[in-house]
Structure 1
């Protein structure tokens, strides 16, 4: 069982959450060309190691948040709001 630390509800089973993908910057729609939009919509790094991700607590507080998760070990750290404001210093092994 993998636990994710929700900033509002505390540690919960991963089945309560919906994965929203990597936290990446959205390009400006007024200035981005087609190649930039293609990269934003379809290409992800999908690398091993630490990555900032977005999650939605669908079975709890129904809030969006971001978390830094190691994709190899599922260890988590740096849980906070999607925009990065007010990041809490949660860390620990969530396996």
Structure 2
């Protein structure tokens, strides 16, 4: 299993605006509807981060979901409003390890 984290570092003081857009995107079905999706915000560390976390069985599944989501007509106008709130972003792709297999 792969865990993908899209990490957005927001401009200072722009969290409330970003939260409104996240709610809008969630209600509009613009985020992937796969199992294990979460939207996180920082509690410690570098401030004003929004993290979109999703799980995929394969990297091909991630690529297909990304292409499908970005192909939705409402995605680009929403993203144009969201990205002006962001200082920078990064993506992490992590592979989950089955600890039981490591031990045996």
Structure whose CA Rg is larger: 2
Which structure has more relative contact order (CA 8 Å, sep 6+)? It is: 2
TM-score, structure 2 normalization: 0.27
Q: Which has the higher strand share?
A: 1
TM-score, structure 1 normalization: 0.28
Q: Which has the higher helix share?
A: 2
